Structure 1
Amino acid sequence: MTPTPPQRPPVPAALRLLGGFGLQIDARPVYVPPTAQKVLAFLALHREGTSRERAAELLWPDLPRNRATAGLRSALWRLSRRSDRGLVTDLDFSRLSLAPHVDIDLHAAATYATALAGDRHDTTPGPDVPPQLREELLPSWYDDWLVDAREHFHQTRLHALEAVSRRHRRAGRMCEALLYAMTAVEAEPLRESAHREVTAVHLGEGNVAEALRHFDLYRRRLRRELGLPPSPEFRRLLAPYLGRPADAPPPR
């Protein structure tokens, strides 16, 4: 009786979704056709797996069902040629999921950012903002199925940046605090909580003029783009220096 050859362990695969798409297999970059990229990214956002029908419907919403299903089959065939150990698992020949040996940067980054967003987190990143707090989820893609996941990670990342800035500020590390706060402002220029944190850092350093200048820049931008004033909370932060009651309407 011929013995069964031992199964080879799966080759590690790393899927990058932050900042843009990338795939490495056994630490080597692998080219993935655009349609197959979308399948991998879609499955990365559905870790529990999803049906073939739903995947085809969401990935090719403008095509008839038969053509969308054919597009999915073609993309899966192309993926099967990229790794002899398989990147996609077909559960019961009806549900698709990424193979367990595929590492996804988004999942690790989201877990990290969620932990940092809690002010009681024990560790604080150093003076350089970690890459996973700088990058957005597939920023150049415009697919509808991606919108909610991108916004979820975007908000989690912003909360983490602001929380880390607060921790650095309270510890007196103003340079680091300003870096994290400004990274949040750059990611979401109209986000008031990020601008308040920048202003609080300036005040913590005793730079009142800088704090007032930043507040005025934000106030003008907010009025120009949304027709709104800064919140009373923001004005109260600067009330001792504004020369008017904290709850008074801002100047036009």
Structure 2
Amino acid sequence: MHVLQVCLFGNVKVTHTGRPSLVKMSHSNQALLAYLLLQRHRSHPRELLAGIFWGNQSQKQARRCLNTALWRLRQVLEPEGIPQGTYLLTPSPDEISFNCESNYWLDVAIFEAQGSSILAKPMQTMTADDADMLKRSLQLYTGELLEAFYDDWTLVERERLRRLYLSSQVHLMRYYKHHGNFEESLACAQKILDQDPLREEIHREMMDLYLASGQRALAVRQYQICHQVLDIELGISPMEETQILYRQILQQIAKPLRVRPRSATDLNSKEQTLRQLRLSLNGFDNALKQLRQAIITLSDEL
């Protein structure tokens, strides 16, 4: 079965199943396809599309550019062997839409569907399968949406999906923490900070996770990272809540090692050892006295 595969996270990638090479498209055609896919549940007036993508040209020229782009898009999406209308529909002469009933795979669609369904569940009711599904969907986020595009509509969609990514990572982080998997929880927290290093509550989560896993030095280092980032980027100090946690960590580090009380067995064992050492020393003293006496006797004979 033929399937159109499209990745919109990071750089745009389009492939047809059974064909190893990527589908080559111009920058403007990639943008048009991305727009139709992200707004795939509705039809779009040609005049609207022409204004979005060629708004700096006259209406007539913009319509001509749109028609040319659509023709080229059909050539790569519906080449020989794939019926026209498989992916691009014309519900009316003045409208264009993407065919949602076609066989296609879209990274954004899977990411949204799986992420939203898991986020709708309270963290305490999540199962291991839910966590695995959410983790797999997050792996689809290989970069921000349409990284090479800077139109207004792309910025809005990019921020929306970025927020979904961060919310999903927070959900997964708290799930792992709730189940005592501190390593996975820390990994989620770090990915959040990679995207948004100013999120102080995530720095606190990491400090707490390091402390819970016995890595107190790393907890201190995380506070120092938080302090430095906030100072450089915003010129502010960490919140009182963060500083309180930091002081608690320092108090943990300052606590002396607890000495295990000596048991009766330990005392008896040590007394036996001392007794044996005394006997050994007495034997050594006797041998030393005998040696001295032998030396004196030998000297007298000489």
SS at match of 2:145: coil
Counterparts of 1:27 and 1:226, CA distance in 2: 51
How has the CA–CA distance of structure 1 residues 164 and 144 changed in structure 2, closer, same or farther, with 3 Å as cutoff?
Answer: same
In structure 2, the partner of 1:195 is 203
Alignment root-mean-square deviation, CA: 2.3
Distance (whole Å) between structure 2 residues aligned to residue 63 and residue 227 of structure 1 = 45
Higher CA-based Rg: 2
Q: Note the 1:161-180 alignment, pairs <5 A.
A: 161-180=169-188
Distance change >3 Å, CA 49–CA 195, structure 1 → 2: farther
2-side partners of 1:146 and 1:79: how far apart? Answer: 19
Distance 1:198 1:213 in 2: 10
Give, in whole Å, the separation in 2 of the partners of 1:115 and 1:195.
27
> Aligned partner of 1:43: which letter?
L
2:84 is equivalent to residue 77 of structure 1: no
Asked if 1 retains the 8 angstrom alpha-carbon contact of 2:141 and 2:165, the reply is: yes
Check the 8 A contact 2:9/2:141 in 1, yes or no: no
Shift of 1:57: 1.2
Q: Which has the higher helix share?
A: 2
Write the distance in 2 (CA, Å) between the matches of 1:112 and 1:233: 34
Q: Secondary structure at the match of 1:32?
A: coil
Q: Residue 67 of structure 1 is aligned with which of 33, 44, 61?
A: 61
Distance between the aligned counterparts of 1:121 and 1:67, measured in 2? 54
Give a deviation string over 1:126-185, Cα, whole Å, max 9, x none: 8x7642244321122212210111001001101111211111122111221111111111
What CA distance in whole angstroms lies between the structure 2 residues aligned with 1:150 and 1:63? 26
One-letter amino acid of the counterpart of residue 53, structure 1? E
The whole-number CA distance in structure 1 between the counterparts of 2:162 and 2:192 is: 10
Q: Does 1:36 align with 2:29?
A: yes
Structure showing greater relative contact order (alpha-carbon pairs closer than 8 Å, 6 or more residues apart): 1
Indicate yes or no: 2:134 matched with 1:140: no
TM-score in terms of structure 2 length? 0.70
- Contact residue 222 and residue 229 of structure 1 kept, 8 A: yes
**Which residue in 2 is equivalent to 1:6?**
none
CA 241–201 in structure 1, closer or farther in 2 if over 3 Å, else same: closer
CA contact (8 A) 1:113 1:133 kept: no
Aligned to 2:131, what secondary structure does the other structure show? coil
Verify: 1:125 aligned to 2:132, yes or no: yes
Contact kept, 8 Å, 2:15 with 2:23, in 1: the verdict is: yes
TM-score in terms of structure 1 length = 0.82
The one-letter code of the counterpart of 1:73 is: N
**Are the equivalent residues in 2 in contact too, given 1:19–1:136 (CA < 8 A)?**
yes
Residue by residue over 1:103-127, the C-alpha shift from the partner in whole angstroms, topping out at 9 and shown as x without a partner, is 321011012222343524332128x
SS at match of 1:18: coil
Distance 1:27 1:231, change over 3 A: farther
Tell me which amino acid in the other structure corresponds to 1:96.
I
Residue of structure 1 in register with 2:256 after alignment? none
- Secondary structure of the corresponding residue to residue 96 of structure 2: strand
CA contact (8 A) 1:13 1:25 kept: yes
Q: Percent of counterpart pairs with the same letter?
A: 25
Partner of 2:163: 155
Q: Which runs of 4+ in 1 moved over 6 A?
A: none
Residue 10 of structure 2 corresponds to which residue in structure 1?
19
Question: CA separation in 2, counterparts of 1:27 and 1:131?
Answer: 24
